[in-house]
Each structure stands twice: as structure tokens, then as C-alpha cells.
Amino acid sequence: MRTHAQAVVIGGGVIGCSILYHLTKLGWSDVVLLERSELTSGSTWHAAANIHGLHDSTNISRIQHYTMNLYNELEAETGQSCGVFQPGSLYLAQTENREHQLRLQAAKAKLYGMNFYEVDRAEAERLHPLVNYDGIRCIMYEPDGGNVDPSGVTNAYATGARQRGAEIHRFTPATGTEQQPDGSWIVRTDKGDIHTQWVVNAAGLWGREVAAMAGLTLPLQPTEHQYFVTETIAEIAAMDRRLPSVADRDGEYYLRQEGKGLLVGAYEQNMKFWAEDGTPQGFGHELFADDLERIEENMLRAIDRVPAVGTAGIKRVINGPMIWSPDSNVLFGPVPELHNYFCCNGIIPGFSQSGGMGLLAAEWMIEGETKYDMFAWDMARFGAWADKAFTKAKVREVYSHRFAIHFPNEERPAGRPVRVRPVYEMQKTMGAVFGLNYGWEHPLWFADTPGTVDTNGFTRQNWWGPVGEECKMLRERAGIIDISNFAKYVCKGPDAEGWLNSVFANNMPKAIGRSCLTPLIGKRGGIAGDFTVTRLAEDEFWIIGSGMAERYHRRFFGAVPLPEGTTFESVTEAVCGFNVAGPKARDLLQRLTNTSLATVDFPFMRSARIEMAGVDLVALRVSFTGDLGWELHCGEADQKRLYEALLEAGKPLGAGPVGGRALMSLRVEKGYGSWSREYSPEYWPQEVALDRLVKLDKDFLNKAAVAEVMKNPAREQLVLLALDGSDTDASNADATGGEPIFHNGKGVGRVTSGAYGYWVGMSLALGYVKGVAPGAEVEVMVLGKPHRARILSEPPFDPKGEKLRA
Ligand SMILES: Cc1cc2nc3c(=O)[nH]c(=O)nc-3n(C[C@H](O)[C@H](O)[C@H](O)COP(=O)(O)OP(=O)(O)OC[C@H]3O[C@@H](n4cnc5c(N)ncnc54)[C@H](O)[C@@H]3O)c2cc1C
């Protein structure tokens, strides 16, 4: 066994083997995989191993397509059969919402050149004659869908990796992982130690136990999951081809051909957890006792749709464990608090995603960053707040809603609240409807009746009207927005300015009381973050960024060593904030402070420590609403007092509380981008008009990469679009993000954010386009159907920034 390696992968399931294979494919041959038993000994061996290309997230869709195409290549390369069957998949819509979802996906498939299109009933009956299509509103077909042999695929990855020099040690459990002072690792086994640069946790069902060896707690929880296989069905036995699989997600089951019978699996409401206190070390190639009663309702729906399921006897039942994260996406990427420890845990559709997941893991380790923005997978989307109780509640929710549509703007309730601010109860009584942002409860909108919850759908919902009222109040008078969920950091010390200059791309403010906007640059030269940095003293800076990306950004801040005597710490938990904005914001705030807020004394982009309503706070004259406004940041203990004073002072002016959904609409009216939507490492500064904030005459994190990409013309451009459908009819829909954009029938881009601009009376969208200029007429595929839209040459709200500076 090797004693030194570039990477040690722990776990020989389909995921560990794919990572090993892709590491070798991208050039690392000095890599080792450790497997405690035989390869495939976790969830892998008993999987139904269905493969699908399509996903609501575009990047995950791309990854799944890569994976589907890889299996045939892998067979050819290694000579190991992957047991690939690709008879296609039929997707059925029983409801209007499912139809909207499928049509949107078909539009995306057209944009990205993926094979997914509508078929009529006659064609569907020809493709799968055993299905009863009554009550089906629309049918889509994915010709490459199908299934693979789980053990064949895993062994093919292993063979391919070995052929490129990797070592695989079966029956060799990793018994310890110890970080060394130089950042490298020792992985301990009974057969000896391996000194390695990277540790990869791909231990599947035992992901929690392997993480614990490095002192880590991962939010993971296993459940049972069942499918059954029928005896031979005469009609299938008589066919000379294989039937496509059936994705009848409204029926909450999956169904495909297995041998000469059918395989049916279900995600039941009455789900069952397994191994809550840890996965037993001795658990091997084992299954649980059958419990078909638990999935009876799903089975009955499958029988209604495919009557042959009900008449054939059951040949075999598989009830096995799988392990879930709180949102059912993988926990992926290097652990921000550790050096070179890579997690790849909690994968549900392992066979649809194994290839892309292995490729991205190898890219991240070898090239420093993935090509696609994978924040949806990044383990840093959860923090310590995602505790055991939260994880369990969420896993119950995601398991039992596995096939439910995840609507745009939907906020699911399980496991909440986990992180609240002092004003939470007060906001509740004011009718706040809350959303979850990195664990924090934050008001999305204020309903007339406390206890109101969102309705969900693709069209405008119950919040649409009230959010319009909030926007109108702010634009006409003023609004008070709770922004406590923003991430806040303080950098202090004699070298604070120098250190921040070596992290961020823009020049840090020289004068006390000045602020600047600055991008953070990723490994490939893209936008890894956008921040407001304020100099509060000679040696003290406040940095404000995206709350959901707080743990993600740790990786970047940790990459530049802090000079001795200079500190950098998060104050997100300790500090709360409000944005008070609108034409009467100054009148409102001036009633509470003796500091002059007149523009001559307190101009745009200035900041100061002031007293307001008896509370010491940091005031910044900035506003994401695009209107005249201040951000006020105070200690958590003062939050309630400040909020009460702001609301009280606002009353005579007709100002009141405003939620996050209104902020979304207001910032889109102004054309402001936001992190993870418009800004992500996939985009170059010149594509998002942030190039003016990148100062190439100084050194900063990933400067060489950004200097290189900025030599190129923009590949796409961020633009603002006004869509037809600007009337206020509740049955209309606005863009929400992800909708393809076409020009004369040709795909030219996609929406990143959408919102109704209540003040300007336009349905708006921000998006990336190529080859079309402002003024051009395009089509945006809202609900999967073409909506005429025009590319605007300037934001419809305050294009010259006069209100902001007033
Ligand atoms: C009933 C059922 C049906 C499914 N159907 C599908 C489907 O249709 N399509 C689909 O895509 N997915 C399906 N899945 C999910 C799929 O099985 C998983 O996504 C996939 O197998 C996860 O693979 P993994 O490599 O992450 O984990 P695992 O398969 O659990 O592998 C982890 C490996 O790590 C090893 N290990 C653990 N600890 C150590 C240690 N200390 N040292 C060394 N090795 C260690 C284990 O022995 C194991 O071999 C199904 C799952 C179940 C339960």
C-alpha cells in the first residue's frame, strides 16, 4: 500500500469510485481509495439505479446529462459493462402546475440542446402501451433516460481509475484522519498510514462517522427506502424492446421495466428514519424487512396508472438505507474550517449524478474551483445551526415531498425556527411571513392577519398584492426593512487596510467614513462575492456581504494569511440591522438622531457611528432599494428598541415595515444584481458591469486569473428586460429565474432574477444574453411559454441615481 498520496478517498460506493476515476482523468495518478468491505457495500449495491437528465436547476441538469452520456463511454474505455439501458423516460403531468414545470423544463432543454420534448398521447401509447393516460394533461419524453447496473458502474469507475494508476484497497477501513501542522493529513488504517494532501469523505451511509474522525459534524440522517419488482408480465415478455421508465411524480412513485417485469419504488408520507444515533459499523450487505403497507397508497396510484402492476405477483422487495441532507442535495466541497478535507455526502440520485459529481470534485481539488457555480450543492450552505433536530425535521419533509414540485419562492416549514432575532415575536404579531436565510428567520412580507402563510404556485400568489403595497409605501414615503440576515464582518488592526486590499479587488477606502463596493474574485477569475466595505476608523473596517454565503466566503478569507496584530471576525450573530429607505427616510430618521443627515453632512456612500433613539449604531448611507436610504447596524440587544423607535417615527409619515420580497422587486427595478443569482464565480467582471471595481494595478486574491479573463470580450451580458404581461392580473406569472430567452427562435440567454416592478408597472427580469442589444425584442419562456420582452437600455427606476444621492 502507498504511504504517500495526493488524495485518499474514503468509501468505495459509486460516488467514491467516480471521484477516484475523475481525479485520475484530470491528471492525479497518485491517489488511493479505501473501502471497509467490498466495493458497493453501502447504499450502492441495492439501488434501483434509474437515470434522469432533467432537473429544476440548470447546472444540476448539465451534470446529469454528462453522467448519462458517460456510462457508455466508460464501458468502451474499461471493457466493464455498466448494464446501461436507455429506453427513455416518459414524464406525466396530472396537474396544471406539473404542466407548467414540465413545459419550463422543455424550454430549458431546447436552450441547452438537451433531448427532452413533448409527445402526444398516441406516441406515448406507442412508447409505453401499459400506461393508462387518462387524466394526463401533458407528456414529455427524454430519450436518454433509463437505468444502469449499480455494481457494473461502480466497478467500471474503479477499473478506469486503476488503469490510470490509482490504488484501491478493499477490506481496509480508514480508522482515523489527522490533520498535520503543515495542513496535510495522515489517514490511518490497519494496514498502515497514508500521508496525503487531500482527504475525501465519500463514506455514504457512514459519512457522519468518517466526518467525526476529523472532528466534524455533518447534517445527515438515513432513512429506509423501498421498491419492489413484479413477476414476469406477459405483455412485456412478448415485446422485442424495452419499455421507457415512467415518471408520474404527481403519483409519488417511480416505475420502470426490470427483467420481464416492472419495478416500482415510492417515497411515502409515512417515512421511517434509520440509525438516528449513528450507522452501525458492522452493517454490511443487508436489507430491512419488507414493509409494503407503508407504501400502499403510492402502490395503488401506480396500479391505477399501470394496471399490469396490480395483476402481476411481487417477486422481490428491496428495503434499504439511504442517507439525506436537510434539503436532499449533496453536501459537497472542501470544509471551509479545515484544510483540504473534501466532503461528498448525502447523495440521493447517485446514479443520475455520479459522473458530474466526480468530475466537479476533481476540478475543485485539482484546479481550485468547479467550472459551474455549484452553490446549491456546497456544504457551506449549512452551518452549525443545522443541528440534529433541524436535520431530522427537514429530512422527513424532503423525503415525503421527494416528487412534490418545489415552487419558485416556496419556503417549506419543517424544523423552523432555528435562528431568530429579538424582534421575531414582534414581527410575527405584525403579520410577518418568514423565509429562511442561512438559518435565520427573516420577514418576506407582512400580511394583514398574523399567522398567514404563503400560497405556492408558478403564477402570482397571495403575497403578490401586499408586496406591491409595501413597495408603493417605500417608494412614495419610506419603509423599514430588516436586514439582520446580511453577513457582517469587522477587520481591525494596523494592517487591516493592507489585508483587505490583498483580499478584495477594489481599492479600500482611504478616508474614515467612506465606503466602497468591491467584488471578491474566484479561482477562475469570476465573481465569488460582492461586498460593501466601510472604513470606520484608521484601523477598523466593516464588511457587509451576502448572508447565505457567509460560510462559503470563509474559504476565500482563509486563503490570505492575516498579518500579526490584525483580526478579522464575523459579527453577524452579534449585530442586527435595518434599512430605512424611501423619499421620507431622512425625515423619519432625523426625528431620532441629533446627527445631521442632510446630504452635505451625510452624503451617499458615507458612514458614521451615531446615536439614534438612544442606541449606538453604525449608519451607512447605502440602500439596495435604489432609493434614498440608510443601513443601520446595532448590537442585538438594542434591536427591539431601535425597531420600535423606527416604527413609531414612521407612523406619522405613513411609513412601516417592508419585507424581503419587496426588496427583491425594488432592486430589480434599479437593475441591481444579487449574489448567487446575477453574481457567481461563473461570470466575469465585464459581464456583470463590475469590471470598473477591479483594480489591476494592485495585488489581490486571484488577480492573475481575473487579469487573464478580463483580456477577453464578455461572453454574455447582464441585462434588464421588461416583459409583456405588465398588467396586475393575479393569474399572470412573472419570471422567477432560470427561464430561457429566445430571439427569432434561437436561444440567446436565461433569466437570473424576475420580479414585478410595482412602482414602474412592469414585469421585469434580469438575465444573461449574448448577441442581442438593448432595444431588441426577445421571448422569455415564463411557464415554458413565450412571453414577449424588450431589453432595456437603462433601469426604469432612477437611472441616473438622483434619488439615491438626494
Ligand atoms: C432502495 C434504494 C433505491 C435507490 N434507487 C436509486 C435510483 O434509482 N437512482 C439513483 O440515482 N439512486 C438511487 N438510490 C440512491 C443511491 O443508492 C445512492 O445515491 C448512492 O448509492 C450513494 O453512493 P455513495 O457512494 O455516496 O454511498 P454508499 O453506497 O453508501 O458507499 C459508501 C461506501 O463507503 C464505505 N465506507 C464507509 N466507511 C468507511 C471507512 N471508514 N473506511 C473505508 N470505507 C468506508 C462503505 O463500506 C460503502 O461502500 C437508491 C437507494 C436506495 C436505498
Q: Is the CB of 14 under 6 A from ligand 1?
A: yes
pLDDT band at 387 (very low <50, low <70, confident <90, very high): very high
Side chain identity at residue 100, one-letter code: H
Question: 13 by DSSP, 3-state: which?
Answer: coil
- Give distance in angstroms: CA of 346 to centre of ligand 1: 9
Q: What is the pLDDT of residues 13-38, one digit of tens each?
A: 999 999 999 999 999 999 999 999 99
Return the C-alpha torsion angle 277, 278, 281, 284, nearest 10: 100
pLDDT band at residue 178 under the 50/70/90 scheme = very high
Helix axes 150-163, 350-367, angle to 10 degrees: 20
Report the pLDDT value the prediction gives residue 726, as an integer from 0 to 100: 58
Confidence at residue 787, expressed as pLDDT on a 0 to 100 scale: 93
SS3 733: coil
Percent of the chain with pLDDT over 90: 98
At 568, list the grid cell: 478579522
C-alpha 609 – ligand 1 centre gap (Å):
54
Give the pLDDT confidence of 729-754 residue by residue, as tens digits. Answer: 777 899 999 999 999 999 999 999 99
Ligand 1 in contact with 324 (CB < 6 A)?
no
User: Does the beta carbon of 686 lie inside 6 Å of ligand 1?
Assistant: no
State the Rg of the chain over Cα.
Answer: 27
pLDDT of residue 401 exceeding 90, the answer is yes
250 closest CA partner among 96, 55, 52, 353: 96
Mean pLDDT score, 275-304: 96
227 lines ligand 1 (CB under 6 A): yes
The angle at the Cα of 324, spanning 286 to 342, to the nearest 5 degrees, equals 100
C-beta of residue 190 within 8 angstroms of C-beta of residue 54: no
| Residue 207 clears pLDDT 90, i.e. is over it | yes
The dihedral over CA atoms of 38, 42, 45, 48, expressed in degrees to the nearest 10, equals -170
Cα separation, 65 vs 331, whole angstroms = 20
Cβ of 474 closer than 6 Å to ligand 1, yes or no, is no
Residue with the nearest Cα to atom 7 of ligand 1? Answer: 49
The CB of 44 under 6 Å from ligand 1? The reply is: yes
From the CB of 320, is ligand 1 less than 6 Å away? yes
pLDDT of residue 399 exceeding 70? yes
| 176 closest CA partner among 218, 202, 209, 140 | 209
Confidence band for 388, pLDDT divided at 50, 70 and 90: very high
User: How do residues 209-247 score in pLDDT, each as one tens digit?
Assistant: 999 999 999 999 999 999 999 999 999 999 999 999 999
Name which residue sits closest to atom 12 of ligand 1, judged by CA: 349
pLDDT band of 54, cuts 50, 70, 90: confident
Instruction: Write out pLDDT tens, residues 753-786.
Output: 999 999 999 999 999 999 999 999 999 999 998 9
440-490 confidence digits (pLDDT tens): 999 999 999 999 999 999 999 999 999 999 999 999 999 999 999 999 999
Whether ligand 1 lies within 6 angstroms of the CB of 50 is answered as yes
Q: C-alpha 114: how far from its chain's center?
A: 22
- pLDDT score, position 729: 77
Looking at the chain, the whole-number percentage of residues with pLDDT higher than 70 is 100
670 CA distance to ligand 1 centroid (A)?
A: 47
Query: 291: how many CB neighbours lie within 10 A of its CB?
Result: 15
Burial 83-115 (b: 16+ CB within 10 A, else e): bbbbbbbbbbbbeebbbbbbbbbbbbbbbeebe
Q: Is the CB of 174 under 6 A from ligand 1?
A: yes
**Mutation test residue for ligand 1: of 43, 149, 221, 262, the one with most atoms within 8 Å of CB:** 43
Q: Determine the pLDDT at residue 725.
A: 66
- Does the beta carbon of 203 lie inside 6 Å of ligand 1? yes
b/e sequence 425-445, b meaning 16+ C-beta within 10 Å: ebbbebbbbbbbbbbbbbbbb
Mean pLDDT of 677-700: 97
Q: Using the atom order of ligand 1, give the atom closest to the CA of residue 40.
A: 49
555 neighbors 448 (Cβ within 8 angstroms): no
Q: How many CA atoms lie within 13 A of 510 on its CB side?
A: 0
Judged against a pLDDT cut of 70, whether residue 87 lies above it is answered with: yes
Going by alpha carbons, the residue nearest to atom 48 of ligand 1 is: 42
Give 678's pLDDT tier (boundaries 50, 70, 90): very high
402 lines ligand 1 (CB under 6 A): no
Q: How confident is the prediction for the chain on average, in pLDDT?
A: 97
Residue with cell 446549491: 376
Which segments within 498-582 are labelled E, that is strand? 515-521, 527-537, 540-545, 567-570, 575-581
- In angstroms, the Cα distances linking 55 to 60, 349, 725, 734, 752 are 6, 11, 27, 21, 16
Q: What separation in Å is there between the alpha carbon of 44 and the centre of ligand 1?
A: 4
Segment 563-567 shows an average pLDDT of: 97
Confidence band (pLDDT; 50, 70, 90) for 502?
Answer: very high
Residue with cell 415531498: 401
388 C-alpha to ligand 1 centroid (Å) = 21
Distances (CA, A) of 675 to 125, 485, 548, 654: 45, 14, 9, 32
Atom of ligand 1 nearest to the CA of 350: 19
- Residues contacting residue 249 through CB under 8 Å, at least 6 positions apart: 91, 92, 98, 403, 404, 405
479 contacts 656 by C-beta, under 8 angstroms = yes
Give yes or no for a contact between 68 and 89, defined as CB atoms under 8 angstroms apart. Answer: no
pLDDT tens track for 411-428: 999 999 999 999 999 999
pLDDT of residue 731: 76
- Give 205 Cα–ligand 1 centroid separation in angstroms: 7
Q: Cis omega before residue 603 (within 30°)?
A: no
Calculate how far, in angstroms, residue 328's C-alpha sits from the geometric centre of ligand 1: 14
Give every CB contact of residue 53 below 8 A, 6+ residues apart in sequence: 61, 64, 65, 68, 114, 115, 116, 142, 144, 145, 352
84 CA distance to ligand 1 middle (Å)? 19
Cα(159) to centroid of ligand 1, in Å?
Answer: 18
The overall pTM is greater than 0.75: yes
